[in-house]
Amino acid sequence: GVLMRDSTWTRQVIARSGVALLHFFSDDAYAMEGFNVTYAAYSCPSDDHRTNCSNHGECEDGTCRCENDWIGVACDQALCPDNCNAAYGAGACTPTGCVCTPSRTGADCSQEVSAAGWGWAWREAGEARGEKALPPPAAGHVLLNYGEDLLRVGGETFSDTEFLYRYNTSEQTWSPVVTSTPAPAARLAHSAILYKNELIVYGGVVAHLDPERG
């Protein structure tokens, strides 16, 4: 999460580990007086710190169970924003979200397919439309363009997982890439590039089986 100057609200930071570190930075050229933090334990994420699940769901053991028309870890995203602009023939609302006509795209089918644009695929587990398998969250990894797709190389996941994952941008799906020959040891904070048909990994911090050695 990022605390922005002159902003009254920022997206919630969810610390599922039970531990959070706040780093406040200010210097002579960018003076800031400090900040206020509101936190809650044993609650659920929300778009308003005074409520649970954005008033669009029930909180169960720290997880939101959203109403049928809402999705997201905080139940703060409409399943079918603007009813998929169905009044303009752009799309239709289904139980998994908007299904756009061939010429339209976007969460609410408001964008022309031929025009470039940005949109959230999802930000974390629980925010995808429909059930999709996700790799474990990672830090210190590398993301590379691979044609129309993305490759996630390595990273710290605090779990036993594949070293390489591929993200299909058109289908919005992740899949592990299993190598037929020995792969580099799991690592984070490394560099990686694609050269022709080869993936080259350099440096990084290699995990060790002995917890005391990291």
SS (H, E, C) 79-134: CCHHHHHHHHCCEEEECCEEEECCCEECCCCCEECCCCCCCCCCCCCCCCCCCCCC
**How many Cβ atoms are within 10 Å of 166's Cβ, its own excluded?**
15
Residues 204, 191: contact at Cβ < 8 Å?
A: yes
pTM (global) more than 0.85:
no
pLDDT in tens, 1-44: 455 555 555 556 777 777 777 777 766 676 667 777 777 777 88
Query: Residue 173 is encoded by which pair of tokens?
Result: 């799906």
